Amino acid sequence: MTNIKQLLKSQLGIDGPEIHHNLSWSELFQASLKFDRGRIDQQGGYDDQKAYATKLRGNGPIVFRTDPDCTGRPVSDTYAVAWPEVESEIWWKDSLQKFDPDKYQQLLSRVISHLNQYRGRLFVQDVVVGQDPECSIPYRIIGQYAIHSMFARNMFITSKSTDDTGESSDEGWTMLNVQTFQCDPERDGCRSDRVAILDFRNRICLVAGRADYCGLVKKSIFTVMNYLLPKRGILSMHSSANIGSDNDSAILFGLSGTGKTTLSADPQRKLIGDDEICWTDSGISNIENGCYAKLIDLDKNAEPIIAAALSMKGTLIENVPNLEGIPYEDTDPQDFDLHDKSITENTRFSYPLSCNPNLAEGGRGDHPSTIVMLTADAFGVLPPISILDEDEAMYHFVQGFTARVAGTEVGIKEPEATFSSCFGSPFMAHKPMVYANLLKKKMRLSNARCVLLNTGWIGGSAGSAPRISISATRALLDAAMRGEFHNGSSGIKFKKHPILGIRHPVTCRGVDSSILDPRSCWSDKGAYDRATHRLREMFRRNFSNHQFGNSGIPEII
């Protein structure tokens, strides 16, 4: 039987580093504390401790500090190799740029030579991406930081093989994550001193340079799945999903910060997954086996399931500062100041799905009854909920309007309006209509109803007005799940927005009816109308720029 060292040498040419293969969570916990070193402050050195225990020691979470220049995904440093066989299929854009094949092969060779000369140690973890065997692939993480193996163990299914062997399958992908290598833009053909490159020919995710944000481990392979699955007629989605007591599944599309994780963690419904879901001919399932939630301003009373996971063994807390004058090692995880943005607004934590006490068996559910498109309207214009027919659903799906929340991506300092097709364009490897056509087909087959749920601001724009309360949002979501907005016998009346044309209810059980008409919440009605006209023009401009009309999408707004 070939061992892992021989495999790495024969497959990648790695021969020199000390190999640690498929360590347990507890072993990785200790290894991260001992070995993970790098920069954690702008003025700090490159041999600083990056991982810390809390007062709970090995029975609680671990805290990880990323490089200060990588507290979110390095969007402008993300590429795919422009191999001839995939070049015409991939949706090239700012968040997925072309990388020259010759430059890539030279860079990969340099990275491996660096590893062999640097020696040190590598942590190798074998996991499976996708809970449904119909849409799963093996994924091997090879990295210099133990924390990335820990993250992979949280987020995916651990491989059945935990010994020192393991041939990779014909479908398996490998992430090579080398933090100590520094790219040279002039030599390597990249923008900066770091890269995250997808190689669809050789099934490699190459991360080279100071890019230690844990989200790269999951978002890289998610982009891969978004390329592979649609080619097999499977819809991969940037969404969460859960299932009710009547076996009524629901999908919640949305970008980070719009409420996918929060709203899917519902005590009255079983969680399927919180971020990455696929839809096959037999139903929906979780691509992951863990959750990666935002922590900033977490309301523990409103989100008890997420709050409880903070103290559990297996949790990985990312970029939450220590309390002033108190080291991490002396801090109870529940005492962290989750409003502290001094490191980043993108404070996060990863925890196994098992931290949630109410899970759907096997991470699966039937075809969805309800599809929710989440948006966080920074302008305070959209109603808290709107009811969408098929054409409107396709329109809002390809437009993907929301607000990018500060810190989720490098360089974003304030909430900012954006249009992100499929509610996740950075991760979509194909052009939007590939996913839109699959969604339309599956919605028709399942007869799913659809709503646009706004978790953004009400009564004014972000910074001048409050966000819609989570209690109101949950009440609206619950009503949508029960089908009350699509049930003609419910007695609910609707109003058509005079400028945007969308239809919204004027009453809902458990919700102050005054917030359902956003204009009524603005003290300056003229300012609301002007803001609404500006947003309408943004919708129209984005629709025209992407030529969605040429693909058969009706221009709704």
Active site annotation includes 261: yes
In the prediction, which pLDDT does 163 show? 44
Considering the domain architecture, whether residues 385 and 517 belong to the same structural domain is answered as: yes
Digit-coded pLDDT (tens) for 343-365: 999 999 999 998 888 999 999 99
Digit-coded pLDDT (tens) for 424-479: 999 999 999 999 999 999 999 999 999 999 999 999 988 889 999 999 999 999 99
* Residues spanned by the domain of 21: 4-35+73-228
Q: Given the residues 50, 348, 442, 546, select the one marked as catalytic.
A: 348
Q: Given the residues 77, 132, 274, 275, select the one marked as catalytic.
A: 275
Considering the domain architecture, whether residues 202 and 245 belong to the same structural domain is answered as: no
Tokens 């699509």 — which residue?
486
Nearest to 316 by CA among 355, 285, 342: 355
Considering the domain architecture, whether residues 205 and 251 belong to the same structural domain is answered as: no
In the prediction, which pLDDT does 1 show? 40
Digit-coded pLDDT (tens) for 291-340: 998 999 999 998 888 899 999 999 999 999 999 999 999 999 999 999 99
Q: Given the residues 20, 50, 218, 260, select the one marked as catalytic.
A: 260
Active site annotation includes 238: yes
Active site annotation includes 377: no
Residue 506 is part of a domain; what is its CATH number?
A: 3.90.228.20
Model pTM score: 0.93
Q: End of a domain among 187, 208, 228?
A: 228
Considering the domain architecture, whether residues 370 and 517 belong to the same structural domain is answered as: yes
**How far is Cα 328 from Cα 219, in angstroms, rounded to an integer?**
28
Q: Rounded to a whole number, what is the distance in angstroms from the first to the last CA of the chain?
A: 62
28, two tokens:
């990785």
Residue 196 is part of a domain; what is its CATH number?
A: 3.40.449.10
Cα-based distances in Å from 390 to 372, 425, 444, 445: 13, 21, 9, 12
Confidence of residue 98 (pLDDT cuts 50, 70, 90): very high
**How far is Cα 287 from Cα 154, in angstroms, rounded to an integer?**
13
Q: Given the residues 223, 256, 264, 420, select the one marked as catalytic.
A: 256
**Average pLDDT of the residues in 370-396:** 96
In the prediction, which pLDDT does 412 show? 55
Digit-coded pLDDT (tens) for 130-181: 999 999 999 999 999 999 999 999 999 996 544 444 555 568 999 999 999 9
- Give the chain's domain count: 2
Q: End of a domain among 180, 209, 228?
A: 228
In the prediction, which pLDDT does 169 show? 59
Q: End of a domain among 176, 209, 228?
A: 228
In the prediction, which pLDDT does 415 show? 55
Considering the domain architecture, whether residues 444 and 385 belong to the same structural domain is answered as: yes
Sign of CA dihedral 299, 300, 306, 310: positive
Q: Given the residues 20, 21, 50, 238, select the one marked as catalytic.
A: 238
Q: Give the burial class of 312: count Cβ atoms within 10 A of its Cβ; 0-12 exposed, 13-18 middle, 19 or more buried.
A: middle
Considering the domain architecture, whether residues 141 and 216 belong to the same structural domain is answered as: yes
Active site annotation includes 219: yes
- Share above pLDDT 70 across residues of the chain, in percent, rounded to a whole number: 95
Digit-coded pLDDT (tens) for 474-490: 999 999 999 999 987 78
Active site annotation includes 348: yes
Query: Does 187 fall in a domain?
Result: yes
Question: For the chain, what is the largest distance between any 2 Cα atoms, rounded to a whole number of angstroms?
Answer: 75
